[in-house]
Amino acid sequence: MSSYSERARAILPGGVNSPVRAWNGVGGEPVPIVEAHGSRIVDAEGREMIDLVASWGPAILGHAHPTVVAAVKEAAARGLSFGATTEAEVELAELIRERYAPAERVRLVSTGTEATMTAIRLARAATGRHKFIKFAGCYHGHSDALLVAAGSGLATSGVPDSAGVTPGAAQDTIVLPYGDEAALTAAFAEHGSEVAAVITEAAPANMGVVAPPAGFNRLISTLCRNEGAVMILDEVLTGFRAGPAGYWGVERDHDVAADLDPWTPDLVTFGKVIGGGLPVAALGGRRDLMEQLAPLGPVYQAGTLSGNPVAVAAGLATMRLLTDEVHGRVAEAATSLRDGVSGALTAAGITHAVGSAGTLFSIFLGLESAPVTFEQVAGQDTAAFARLFHALRREGVALPPSAYEAWFVSAAHTASDVDHIVATVAAWAQSERDS
Ligand code: PMP
């Protein structure tokens, strides 16, 4: 164990402040990171790597974009936090609505966890019902009622649920297999009048990336409308990343092209990209629902650092820079990396499947076809993933340290970054085949 690891473990449980950072899914000792610029991240041993973690999503422009850093410096010089309203937070909320029309009203918070927790509370208050439906493998942050069959770090650790969640907190959470229309319809038939909400990731990306089966999100929307429940679309990870208007926008464009009326969520949660790397998340949605939040309505929600001016400056600068052209570059890098990696694995005869949703993707080693349910995802070869992870590290590529996460690219990833990663995967795949 390095002296850093010893010191970290002597003060931080597991040496980290968020579980997956401990490399519990892949083994080995994480080296602390000291800086990151563009597509590169540098560790304390001076190793520069092409980064595919992107801070788990926010760094869509690449790290430390000069315009974003300048905006943060400028905001910081004017005061770190006021605990009062600012024009910049209004502007960020307007920008979110401009690009994502279902967010008629927006409340800024600091984490995705707060956004989804508040969404559930709001749905319960608005409907006077207690139960809600979530899907196994979807992660919505770590509030008690949502920490059931939650994917993400829990899947990485092999812990399906968290200890410390009381039966009372979880008893109104109905967990269904993702993408299972019959199970969803049956749950509404059985519990319809008690269901306050269905919460779903717009496209699951916390059990690896799963493409929602065609019509699944629309079915959720229809059932919620017919049964008087609230549809909560969690776009914390996919929002302004899977496409310019999140994964909802990907489906909307598809529906419009097919001459179908787009479906719309009642509430939507954002995080990650809208903060550009600083803590900003948001809850948005139908005006009549959102105006039930305090101070207008009876649903309480608050935050000392909500809409923090420095964090909002980072989010605003990031969102302004995130034009369709920039999204196009992210899409190009994601597509060429995804296809290149898959092609290299196929050429070496390595069984794998590709999960893909908008510009998000992940590779499932050992699976013959793209999974939909968490049960199918759990059949992947995590030991092979750990070998791939370490092989890539040795060659200067930082993959997320878990088989249950997306491979995050940014607008700063170049064609030569992609070529290097693909060549490294190809070499690993050959050595796997020969071993
Ligand atoms: N929802 C989704 C879909 C997420 O991916 C995450 C974070 N990975 C969250 C909610 C929770 O966000 P945070 O970590 O900011 O609390």
Report the range of poorest mean pLDDT among 98-107, 158-167, 258-267, 405-414.
158-167
Against a cut of 0.95, is the pTM above it? Answer: yes
Ligand 1 pocket residue status of 111, Cβ below 6 Å: yes
Q: Is residue 399 within 6 Å of ligand 1 at its C-beta?
A: no
- Tens digit of each residue's pLDDT (9 = 90 or more) over 319-340: 999 999 999 999 999 999 999 9
33-74 confidence digits (pLDDT tens): 999 999 999 999 999 999 999 999 999 999 999 999 999 999
Ligand 1 contacts CB of residue 242 (under 6 A)? no
Question: Is residue 99's pLDDT more than 90?
Answer: yes
Residue 236 in contact with ligand 1 by CB distance below 6 A:
yes
119, amino acid identity: A
Ligand 1 atom index nearest CA of 116: 10
140 C-beta closer than 6 A to ligand 1 = yes
Q: Within 13 Å, how many C-alpha atoms sit on residue 265's CB side?
A: 33
Residue 379, judged by CB atoms within 10 A of its CB (0-12, 13-18, 19+), counts as exposed
Cα 113 to averaged position of ligand 1 atoms, centre (Å): 6
E strand residue ranges, 206-318: 230-234, 267-270, 281-285
Q: How many whole angstroms from 236 Cα to the centroid of ligand 1? A: 6
Q: Are 186 and 176 in contact (CB under 8 A)?
A: no
Q: Which atom of ligand 1 is nearest to the CA of 206?
A: 5
Could you report how far apart the first and last alpha carbons of the chain are, in Å?
A: 28
Residue 167: the pLDDT is: 83
Predicted complex ipTM: 0.99
Choose which CATH entry (3.40.50.2000, 1.10.287.130, 3.90.1150.10, 3.40.640.10) describes domain 3-65+324-434.
3.90.1150.10
- Quick one: which of 202, 353, 403 has its CA closest to 284? 202
| Domain residue ranges in the chain | 3-65+324-434, 66-321
Catalytic positions are 139, 234, 272
Q: Which CATH class is domain 66-321?
A: alpha beta
Atom of ligand 1 nearest to the CA of 238: 3
